[in-house]
Structure 1
Amino acid sequence: MSLVATLVSAHGQAPLDDALLARLRDAAGGTATTARLDGAIAADLFADAADARKLEAALRTALDGLPVDVIVQPAATRRKRLFLADMDSTMIGQECIDELADYVGLREKVSDITERAMRGELAFEPALRERVALLKGVPLSVIEEIIRERITLTAGGRELVRTMRANGHYTALVSGGFTVFTGPIGAMIGFDEDRSNLLLGQDGLLSGEVGEPILGKQAKLDTLVELRERLGVAPALTMAVGDGANDLAMLGEAGLGVAFRAKPAVAAAAAARLDHADLTALLYAQGYRADEIVRG
């Protein structure tokens, strides 16, 4: 089977120069070849091999700790037609519920529950209900301010989504967070659609309740399957990215499931992981060259 290993350097930290690429070709063995995608930032390594995990391990050993991400997959199905993404700590740098908690002086308590849920130590649904209950009385009006002043988009996210859409592919933001955030943020990034949970309120204040049923691990998986079937996309041509335990089922079902700056258990279970590069790495992984990326 022909595999492609996409190598993406964290900008300016470990350039993929000729010497490094030669070392990686040697590590891959046989008749491995390389091709540049974006100067010293991204390159492909093609190898006739049957075991993606074995090839990835060999390349990581050869990298010897350099900040270069490695994504290995079958070359024939690398260009994806359906992309699903988690929002908090993936497409944005924050956890929105933690930012809401800051308004009532409960950031530390809520952040601790969030962290434990994302590591898989707590079931997602009851952990979400517990955190939302602590937000009772927070004015709904603060959400617009949080989005404007506290939320930062993850580097490369807009380019990833807009390039895929420009090539006729479908993108969905699927979050265990809340519609009041995913709607505006999804539009800012450029997603085709967004799905998330409903924060309930009354008289302009949060009621401390979340709409049922809660969109969690199973719902993310179900959304991937639903969209795949509706759009007629082969399973191998789907891609998903996330960072938490509630993303694992979705990542496992996708043709390429990518853990982004993920919790250890998630990084270990996912088919691929991004520890260093930004989200444009998921375009390079699909074979897009620098001049094909929709910027801005």
Structure 2
Amino acid sequence: MSSKLAAVLIASPSAPAVDASLLADAAAALPDGSLRVLREGVAAEIILRAGEPEAVRSALAAAIAGRPVDLAVLPAEGRRKRLLIADMDSTFIEQECIDELAEAFGLAAEIAPITQRAMRGEIAFEPALRERAALFRGRAPEAAVAQILRDRVTFTPGGRAAVATMRAAGVYAALVSGGFTSFTAPVAAHLGFDENRGNVLETEDGRLTGLLREPVLGSEAKVTALDDLLGRRGLTRADAVAIGDGANDIPMLKAAGLGVAFRAKPAVAAVADVRIDHGDLTALLYLQGYAADEIRDA
């Protein structure tokens, strides 16, 4: 028997394409649904008492074809999650911190191509990270990290509001990154996450040794972190929403009750429950049925 569904339409707040024309076309495509605007011009949902997800998706995709709008079709029950587990680089911030660190040390030409291949899933994440870390041997990180955080790191729009709104609703929020704790800790604090996890670059006398503290937090370790966070709260995987963009996020996205690929590499978008290409990080809220009057200003 088919289940109650929520079809969600999301646009960028800077290009609010969920307008009256689009809503009329969407309602005509799903005449048995109940339409609710979540944020004027930006997000709306259509609740269907029954339906087959692929049929609903196909009908809506045809109705909105060519418009800059993300589309998700989800089970209507259990949409509001109780744990957020999020990637950092190119997700909650707009940079890859390891590449910024490489730029500061004059190593961009060697490191950036490895990063891109790893994020696309062309090479395994953990050995690629060790290879890049080894190139930092002998470098002094403190001033470089401070400069990058001050001058180069920019936060993805909607991130602070998404975290603040979910935490106000009782959600536990964890930033879990394959990047480095020297970045995850200040980024998590700025965005309002409850905790952060990442990899530790080993130092000796204030200089990098080129080694990572074991165990390395890679793709499978993200799933381990997810299960640990859930277990500590008596929750199940169905209670979690995960978001990321790179190949090392795939196991985490597949394990969570709702896996969101955010402006992601093709291999990631192909396996996630939802892909967000147009919306900002407030898309996390609309997917769960939060409306504009529930969103906290961060």
* Partner residue of 1:285 out of 269, 273, 287: 287
* Aligned partner of residue 4 in structure 1, secondary structure: strand
* Aligned partner of residue 270 in structure 2, secondary structure: helix
* Aligned partner of residue 233 in structure 1, secondary structure: coil
Determine if contact 1:199/1:209 at 8 Å carries over to the other structure. yes
- In structure 2, the residue matched to 1:201 is 203
- In structure 2, the residue matched to 1:231 is 233
- In structure 1, the residue matched to 2:249 is 247
Query: How far is 1:259 from its partner?
Result: 0.2
- In structure 1, the residue matched to 2:75 is 74
5 Å-filtered alignment, 1:165-244, equals: 165-244=167-246
**Which segment drifts farther, 230-239 or 175-184?**
230-239
Query: How far is 1:13 from its partner?
Result: 2.7
Determine if contact 1:49/1:55 at 8 Å carries over to the other structure. no
Query: How far is 1:10 from its partner?
Result: 1.6
Distance 1:197 1:31 in 2: 49
**Which segment drifts farther, 101-110 or 119-128?**
101-110
* Partner residue of 1:8 out of 7, 10, 14: 10
Distance 1:101 1:160 in 2: 30
Query: How far is 1:246 from its partner?
Result: 0.7
- In structure 1, the residue matched to 2:109 is 108
Distance 2:165 2:107 in 1: 39
Instruction: Please list every run of 5 or more consecutive structure 2 residues that lacks an aligned counterpart in the other structure.
Output: none
Query: How far is 1:50 from its partner?
Result: 4.1
- In structure 1, the residue matched to 2:56 is 55
Give me the TM-score of the superposition, normalised by structure 1: 0.96
- The one-letter code of the counterpart of 1:226 is D
Determine if contact 1:135/1:208 at 8 Å carries over to the other structure. yes
- The one-letter code of the counterpart of 2:186 is P
Determine if contact 1:24/1:59 at 8 Å carries over to the other structure. yes
Which runs of structure 1 show a deviation greater than 4 angstroms over 4 or more consecutive aligned residues? none
Determine if contact 1:235/1:254 at 8 Å carries over to the other structure. yes
Deviations 1:18-62 (A, max 9, x none): 22112112223x511210111121111112344323322332222
- In structure 1, the residue matched to 2:133 is 132
Determine if contact 1:136/1:205 at 8 Å carries over to the other structure. yes
Query: How far is 1:12 from its partner?
Result: 4.3
Identity of aligned residues (%): 53
Query: How far is 1:107 from its partner?
Result: 1.1
Instruction: Please list every run of 5 or more consecutive structure 1 residues that lacks an aligned counterpart in the other structure.
Output: none
Computed over aligned residues only, the root mean square deviation of the Cα atoms, in angstroms, reads 1.3
**Which segment drifts farther, 16-25 or 147-156?**
16-25
Determine if contact 2:161/2:296 at 8 Å carries over to the other structure. yes
Distance 1:36 1:291 in 2: 11
Structure-2 change in CA distance of 1:106 and 1:16 (3 Å) = same
2:95 paired with 1:94: yes
Distance 1:291 1:196 in 2: 34
- The one-letter code of the counterpart of 2:179 is G
Distance 1:177 1:31 in 2: 46
* Aligned partner of residue 88 in structure 1, secondary structure: coil
Distance 2:131 2:217 in 1: 15
Determine if contact 1:103/1:138 at 8 Å carries over to the other structure. no
**Which segment drifts farther, 12-21 or 193-202?**
12-21
- In structure 2, the residue matched to 1:18 is 20
